[in-house]
Structure 1
């Protein structure tokens, strides 16, 4: 999931917009505008000035104590929904637009808007207006509290001097976080590899690469180039060189920016009288406190660390046997783990990730994903020719299968290109609002192989599609509470639960129905192998996730000022089974903690606790449309109108528990 760095109130973690005029003209379809780079700065200033004028009218309302909340909340939501018409596409285009000038102008605008929202929520007159309101129901009560919380997070209750300092910190953070992300995304470096160093890679991969005038192949940092190389290239030194360069793609400058960010966040927490940034940030999460997070992470670590050690040992034994060398000479290095893991998968489970692309052609997989989502949630996807930011981008109307009414829209930008966001994410949501008949829009952004997906990429596709559906199937009163505006440590749960649809025969066997030309059908034998592969490396995976989360918490703890990010990372990674590789600089490209997941990376596993527990409601039938409809109504449609805990309890009919999660990470899952 991708989060905007300039969210306003709890409004829309990721938003995209269309003009209110378009809504007035038609409720049938809403699409995204495009921009010229030279126009963005002026438009940005003009849109912010419009919001200022509208908010002035809210300031001037003559409200008595206990005034009805509904009209004021509706007006507030309308103002920011109209602002979202502009800043939603801007947030997306800063990451995906082919024209670098547009990307840069959009990013500059994002920084301005982030700074602007601090001004809004440090306005005491607006704060007092919302303090006077009396909500008439639970939805309005929560929305009112969400708004008040945002004022208080921006320091409305602080002294004037502290408010001023807080604004300085937030403004500086907005700039620093943006530059950090740009340094990674826009890195133009290409590494040279000889033909011999590419031995082991499929010819189709090699043929797609460019060469320099020396005849050497050039590889950048996009995942479709990097991951196959690390899994398949036989040359150990080449893999080491590539991994080190990949870890350093943010550069020394990003290490300095990270340290600057950590210090600024600590200073922010101090203004509020908190001992750490983590304590300040976690107040509005499901976990609530650093102590709860650290206890959870310690329990996970105690479970998975022995598994990680065992898996590394098994890899070493496999390597020794494969090369017919003594075990002491078969050490598994961090740059060789993916290679030998892939060899073991192929040898032990007869699973070749590259061969799996034949089973999951990219277009057929998309058609299959549309079909299973349609059956489960009672919706249809209809392709429509609309203006898009790049020729390969697709747009679909999402329609209710029973009523034939338009629900929302989905953009899909699936393939890699220069300057594009390099991972997989969803800019989801253009917030649904029943009050204004506002339609939601999600944009799914990936970097897939055009020919087909391996099992990891298949799960990624389904995962991100889950985020898109969370936005599109939202049916909230206010746009501000739509879709993925839920607590940060719950936002991944719907997508993580949906990953199961990428693992079972009852769903995967249907992919072949959509292959043109024909492709192999997933059968019991392949499913058994895929399940074995999914289970393999569990210790390595969850140990790595725990390390990321513990590192995040350590950076944002009470000793933040003493921390040097790279030194701390080296110390923590050294304690793992694979150790730390000198000269690598993972913290300089750890985008999650600079883009919305700071003090929240643990949320991936915390969400998975909820995901696996919610999955139990489907039992042995993932195609159960009755359960799917109930899930749509109780979870996906609700957004953040209710706390996440309440949503999960409503769906399960009981309080959630972590039993399924610990069975999963320890290999004791009951199929």
Structure 2
């Protein structure tokens, strides 16, 4: 269900009030607990004040938004801390506060007096009406109109789902799973991945499962057994406990939907999104599958042939395994296009790579970033002020670049403080990634730019209210502004900006970039169909038919060309399902359709500042206060379509 107050967040300010956001220094659980208690006392008082407003014609939207802003003052940082703070007691206290806050939210969204006042609120224009409608939807989807017993059950389910989601993510984040290898077994793996790793009693290198470590092993290891061991370890993250948790999550979501008369949680939640229904999402995925199925078969045949050549075995007796995919994809890509992703690391030092995306934002959107001194959750984390061409403060960005124990182990942005022009409130967001300190590959630079796209969406929003600010858009539009920018790293003119921030960095040869741009489309059939399997599994897990998560996954994966590997439990580590993407993983593909369409405006020049400013003012500035289709229409000057997306699927 929608959690009204658990939206991705950000804030804007008038020049007179502009101040760099200071991240709270919560260094122990007692501080977190005390601030949490103050928040809960305050929001309950605000709830009473909302309920006491006149029943009809009251200005409910502003105080409702101000309540959210008060929530963000405390919960914004606390939503981030479990992912980045090195102290487990602080992480646990932040999660405990989130659980208490969810109890408040579930009850608040069933407050009939507040709902009535929202229903009859004074609205000034279409922006007010859209906010009113979406908040009414949130109240209704939380059970405000249900019978008393059903309302109580909805509240209990909401709270339990929060607790289960936290546990699911915690098991992955705090996992100490490792795999030990001898130096000989690591043949082909770049030395910087393993040379400084700790050794066990047998002298073997002990490697973790974070992606800067695991990915190079699976891509580069010459010995198949090495690749297999690392791949199998990554396919067991979360463990059996997470499978049980995921099953309970799916059961509760289905029960929740049935409280509202829906047989499918997917239909319950998708009716509020661009796609509209589970059936429409299924049709969309089928259209994509039809476009790439033949290409997947051809891709797999090429990789199987490559494995046969590498092993000296007859092709007829060669079996391509799942742990072979990354290795032989990279090998054949390199053979065809002479592209070695590792070779890019020397060109893209991590800090300079961050400064490069800052330079791109200044060139394209008129936004510059300058470092500011702050004591943050870890010495490696940094703070930056975002300013416009006139030097006016737009917001604050926090960046955490490198892996460490107990840190969130993928790449994401927490836009935890939303903009409100009406209130004069500045945005703040945190970009969290896990990069090799030796440098980034071009694919990792693409990841950085993707996440930076989310941060820009948060920081450049200028919405009237905080609730629809920044990345608080429909889920199946949320990835579009970040996916759109991924393409920029394959443009030599764009990468030339790197020399502005790092004159000592050797420029990437133009032909190297051009080869990489062609190579990125290799094995697109395999990559796309894998994403389709994830999306279909997510919809099926949240569909009408209840089935145990592992049984469902094994059945669906067995139907793919490479089948299912017994003993692997991939769903246990599929964090999207336990979090906000339940019945929503299709949104990555759906958003990519929008992203490809948006890119067409930059086809002539990806550094066109006039188009960039129009994009900033039209798409990014409006956050979620206008419908996504309207934003696309205004920016492109026409209705959106999927033509560019399906063209991209056909590029060889």
TM-score tier (shorter): over 0.9
Cα distance in structure 1, aligned partners of 2:272 and 2:509 = 43
The C-alpha deviation readout for 1:71-130, integer Å capped at 9, x for no partner, is 321111112201210000000001110111111111111122122200100111111111
Deviation larger for 293-302 or 357-366: 357-366
Q: Which of residues 525, 531, 536 in structure 2 aligns to 1:545?
A: 531
1:13 equivalent in alignment to 2:7: yes
Aligned pairs for 1:203-218 (under 5 A) are 203-218=191-206
* Secondary structure class of the residue paired with 1:547: helix
- Offset of 1:8 from its aligned partner? 5.1
Q: Following the alignment from structure 1 to structure 2, what is the Cα–Cα distance between the partners of residues 202 and 591?
A: 29
| Pair 1:444-2:428 in alignment | no
Candidates 235, 240, 245, aligned match of 2:228: 240
Q: Does 1:622 align with 2:616?
A: no
**Equivalent residue, structure 1, for 2:450:** 463
Report deviation, 1:496: 0.5
- Give the corresponding residue for 1:53: 45
**The residue matched to 2:417 in structure 1 has which SS?**
coil
Deviations 1:542-571 (A, max 9, x none): 0011000000010111102xx011111111
Match of 1:421 among 385, 392, 408: 408
Q: CA deviation at 1:363?
A: 2.1
Separation in 2, partners of 1:208, 1:425: 27
8 Å CA contact 2:43, 2:71 repeated in 1? yes
35, 39, 49: which one aligns with 1:43? 35
Q: Could you list the runs of 5+ residues in structure 2 that have no partner in the other structure?
A: none
Say if 1:367 and 1:514, in contact at 8 Å, map to a contact too.
yes
Which of 109, 118, 126 is 1:121 aligned to? 109
Secondary structure, counterpart of 1:622 in structure 2: coil
2:470 is matched with 483
- Contact kept in structure 2, 1:315 and 1:340, CA below 8 Å: yes
1:344-387: CA deviations, max 9, x gaps? 12222111111111222222222211111111111111111112
Q: In structure 2, what is the equivalent of residue 378 of structure 1?
A: 366
Task: State the match for 1:298 in structure 2.
Answer: 286
RMSD: 1.8
CA contact (8 A) 1:364 1:516 kept: no
Equivalence for 2:596: 612
Q: What aligned pairs does 1:501-520 form with structure 2 within 5 A after superposition?
A: 501-515=488-502, 517-520=504-507
Name the CA distance, whole Å, in 2 between partners of 1:180 and 1:369: 33
1:272 and 2:260 equivalent? yes
SS in 2 for 1:31: coil
User: Alpha carbons of 1:411 and 1:522: their partners in 2 closer, same or farther (altered >3 Å)?
Assistant: farther
Secondary structure of 1:480 counterpart:
coil
Structure 1 residue 511: deviation in Å?
2.1
Mapped partners of 2:651, 2:14: distance in 1: 51
1:133 aligns to what SS in structure 2? Answer: coil
Give the superposition deviation at 1:24: 13
Residue 529 in structure 1 maps to residue 525 in structure 2: no
Say if 1:512 and 1:522, in contact at 8 Å, map to a contact too.
Answer: no
CA distance in 2 between counterparts of 1:488 and 1:88 reads: 19
Aligned mates of 1:348, 1:131 — CA distance in 2: 61
Residue 320 of structure 1 is matched in structure 2 by 308
**Aligned residue-pair number:** 651
1:103 to 77, 80, 91: 91
DSSP 3-state at the match of 1:409:
strand
Distance 1:412 1:14, change over 3 A: same
Q: Which residue of 2 aligns with 1:555?
A: 541
Q: Deviations over 1:390-437 (max 9, x none)?
A: 111111110011x22100011100100100000000001410111121
Contact in 1 for aligned 2:337/2:519 (Cα 8 Å): yes
Residue 304 of structure 1: how far off its partner (Å)? 1.4
CA distance in 1, matches of 2:78, 2:170: 15
1:31 equivalent in alignment to 2:18 = no
Q: When the two structures are superposed, what TM-score results if normalisation uses the length of structure 2?
A: 0.97
The correspondence for 1:632, drawn from 593, 610, 616, is 616
**How far apart in 1 are the matches of 2:15 and 2:65?**
17
**Residues 496-526 of structure 1: CA distance to partner in whole angstroms, max 9, x if unpaired?**
1011111111212332443353323331x11
- Superposed counterparts of 1:345-424, under 5 Å: 345-401=333-389, 403-424=390-411
Note if contact 1:466-1:498 (Cα within 8 Å) is conserved in structure 2: yes
* 8 Å CA contact 1:59, 1:125 repeated in 2: yes
Q: Quick one: which of 130, 138, 149 aligns to 1:161?
A: 149
TM-score by length of 1: 0.94
In structure 2, distance between residues paired with 1:205 and 1:545: 27
Q: Secondary structure at the match of 1:428?
A: strand
Q: Which runs of 5+ in 1 are unaligned?
A: none
Distance 1:210 1:342 in 2: 28
Alpha carbons 1:384, 1:397 under 8 Å: kept: yes
| Equivalent-residue separation in structure 2 for 1:344 and 1:540 (angstroms) | 14
Q: Is the 8 A contact 2:15 2:393 kept in 1?
A: no
| Counterpart in the other structure of 2:139 | 151
In 2, the alpha carbon distance for the partners of 1:189 and 1:565 equals: 22
CA distance in 1, matches of 2:241, 2:526: 30
